[in-house]
Structure 1
């Protein structure tokens, strides 16, 4: 008799079984909450200072559509296989080689967690005019507190998102309405001329690069999707619509009030209390997803299901980094992420569709090499090209890594064929 799957278990080291799959609403609202992120609105604010309204709309659509499609392809693979990115890394990087992707993906999430923890503490001290001595205790409070829903697992993340997303959405739409009124309606918005400049490459890099690391690890939830259609649609809802909304809200405020910080914009609109609530919910719905991602990578690295303990360890490390000044390192951190994370997704896509012909073997019974040098080599080429690229670095990293994987895979196959022929002739 087959035992029914435990719906409270998050399967950090195995495929998600059919009985634990979720519907479109659950998956979409969780990803929607994940993409509600203050840093994305700040990136939108930078664009709002540099573009007129029409150009801003097209740049946002282009960047977020690329991001949504990237997340959707990975989401389809995750749903089809039941695996997240770190588990798929065992196939494309090898049993030991996958620890590289575990480390990189875990490192990025700890960095984001530290930035979010530091940001909310610093902003609250400033807005509420609290003594500076409150900053570190608040970082400790939020650093450990935000991890509680992630400690519970998918169920906790889902519950928080169902409450927080509608509340945040209402606050942001209210802010947009006020900004439209203050600008003099649509005619006033169209008449606003940018005070700064930015080329399209930089705009796409900002839109795509700010959350591409999140899109790479959204497989932690799309693997729970009931079917491929659910995975693809929920990815587009989160990363095309949700991330697009964050970009537009940040840009909107910057255009009208010449202020790229959405919290400052809401204060100018007389929404100080709402701004505090929005900031708290905004960061919490991203923080718990972020530390959940870290725990998934950590479980795969040590090959043990210790998700709860690793969640708390990650929250503690993130809190220490926040106290150490992570909030001052956002821009260098984003540049680094745009180079080292997207190539992982490129290798995963190429390995699934080309290397494994759209079907992974069962993870528990697969005979995996210690190192898959094709995947590791393709990743290295993608990361190097992304880092030195004058064009959109994340896209360059994905494309170079995927194409390099296909080329190296074919070269390895041709070499193996030649060796086999030589053995037969001998």
Structure 2
């Protein structure tokens, strides 16, 4: 085979797997409409509804709760949009960016922590569906193994096919999800007595502002860190920034608000359960199905990208199936029933933001907007990134206030200082 033929085969192979180990080329870039639907589908997630439910009962509706939701989602949206901008400029996913920031071997930690959180949420989602069918539809628990088996593999169909299938599914699902949620929220507002009624509801729980913002930001910070898996396909940085901000500030904020408001009105933040109380059980299950599919396929897709990079293979579809199988084992093993698991995943919101802080500092402050080519050999460990990450994570964990923000700022400042102090030729042995 000629060199030209071999090169063409490699390009076609990467394209069929959605470019897991290369930058997305210009001919594969997508429009704002495509980006918006894809990312909106990702963020309209019932797990975020639960996060809103944890926050809502602890605050008066206005201005306390409303301002808190705006600030929290603006933080999340700004963080994800900044990474989205870099992804569009470079065509790279977060795990490929991390190769420069953490080193060729050091970046595998990024692969692991981002991939693990996504597979954890995927497993939790399968368990949620089975649990709701038990409670609200009367399905016997003895059927749960089959329900989990079916939905675990069904929801990964579009992720297996890739961006094209996920794009078209999102265009159908997102408008339907928004309409159904607005329908439910309008009923809730009416039953609460409008604004005056919502304002009269007194807080029934205690939660400080820093903890509340950590929950709002932390629940989806892993997804925000990996939104680059789709924003790298944007046809311009402006497209990536607008689409990501719309998804993580507006859409994610909409879902958090839905959970918080439902918790205030019904003392219940389960989306389907709330709709059942409103006489909308069937629409509630339709919403759950559409909502879970639109996020679950993005979640398993993110896992596949992370683990392709970990093992340096372009076989993304293989890791979609591997990830689904791991999630199946976790769900059958009882991960959904674990009361500590959601708290653990939210806790990772403390340890994931410093990854983004290091990457942004590396790109903008140290390298002045230009990552090295992927073909260029990198240190096994970029100790500036590794040390900055570890110290920033400790600062975020032990500090008060808004832990994700503390972690991002600390990581960015530390990386910039350490990158100046540690010469690049002494950071570690250079390997590919």
The normalised TM-score by structure 1 is 0.94
The counterpart of 1:349, out of the listed 343, 360, 365, is: 360
CA pair 129-97 structure 1, distance change in 2 beyond 3 A: same
Matches within 5 A, 1:82-101: 82-101=91-110
Shift of 1:107: 0.9
Identify which range, 366-375 or 289-298, moves more after superposition.
366-375
Q: Could you tell me whether the CA contact under 8 Å between 1:42 and 1:250 is conserved in 2?
A: yes
Report whether the alignment pairs 1:265 with 2:274. yes
Q: Which residue of 2 aligns with 1:363?
A: 374
Report whether the alignment pairs 1:163 with 2:163. no
Q: Which residue of 1 aligns with 2:430?
A: none
Q: Could you tell me whether the CA contact under 8 Å between 2:17 and 2:314 is conserved in 1?
A: no
Report whether the alignment pairs 1:217 with 2:239. no
The counterpart of 1:43, out of the listed 31, 38, 51, is: 51
The counterpart of 1:227, out of the listed 232, 236, 250, is: 236
Matches within 5 A, 1:326-341: 326-327=335-336, 328=338, 329-341=340-352
Q: Which structure 2 residue ranges, 5 or more long, are not aligned?
A: 427-432
Identify which range, 21-30 or 386-395, moves more after superposition.
386-395
Q: Which residue of 1 aligns with 2:72?
A: 63
Report whether the alignment pairs 1:291 with 2:300. yes
Matches within 5 A, 1:272-287: 272-287=281-296
Q: Which residue of 2 aligns with 1:242?
A: 251
Matches within 5 A, 1:89-238: 89-238=98-247
Distance 2:342 2:395 in 1: 19
The counterpart of 2:313, out of the listed 266, 284, 304, is: 304
CA pair 147-239 structure 1, distance change in 2 beyond 3 A: same
Distance 1:199 1:408 in 2: 34
Distance 1:129 1:414 in 2: 62
Q: Which residue of 2 aligns with 1:412?
A: 422
Identify which range, 385-394 or 119-128, moves more after superposition.
385-394
The counterpart of 1:376, out of the listed 382, 386, 401, is: 386
Distance 1:322 1:167 in 2: 28
Distance 1:138 1:382 in 2: 41
Shift of 1:199: 1.7
Q: Could you tell me whether the CA contact under 8 Å between 1:125 and 1:134 is conserved in 2?
A: no
Structure 2 SS opposite 1:391:
coil
Q: Could you tell me whether the CA contact under 8 Å between 1:49 and 1:260 is conserved in 2?
A: no
Shift of 1:415: 10
Q: Which residue of 2 aligns with 1:15?
A: 23
Q: Could you tell me whether the CA contact under 8 Å between 2:100 and 2:372 is conserved in 1?
A: no
RMSD between aligned residues: 1.8
Shift of 1:345: 0.7
Q: Could you tell me whether the CA contact under 8 Å between 1:78 and 1:85 is conserved in 2?
A: yes
Structure 1 SS opposite 2:378:
coil
Identify which range, 259-268 or 324-333, moves more after superposition.
324-333
Q: Could you tell me whether the CA contact under 8 Å between 2:362 and 2:415 is conserved in 1?
A: yes
The counterpart of 1:27, out of the listed 23, 35, 39, is: 35
Shift of 1:163: 1.0
Shift of 1:391: 2.4
Q: Could you tell me whether the CA contact under 8 Å between 1:18 and 1:226 is conserved in 2?
A: yes
Distance 1:332 1:258 in 2: 20
Residues 354-382 of structure 1, C-alpha deviations (whole Å, 9 max, x = no match): 22110113212x12111111111111112
Q: Could you tell me whether the CA contact under 8 Å between 1:48 and 1:56 is conserved in 2?
A: yes
Q: Which structure 1 residue ranges, 5 or more long, are not aligned?
A: 417-426
Report whether the alignment pairs 1:252 with 2:261. yes
Structure 1 SS opposite 2:279:
coil
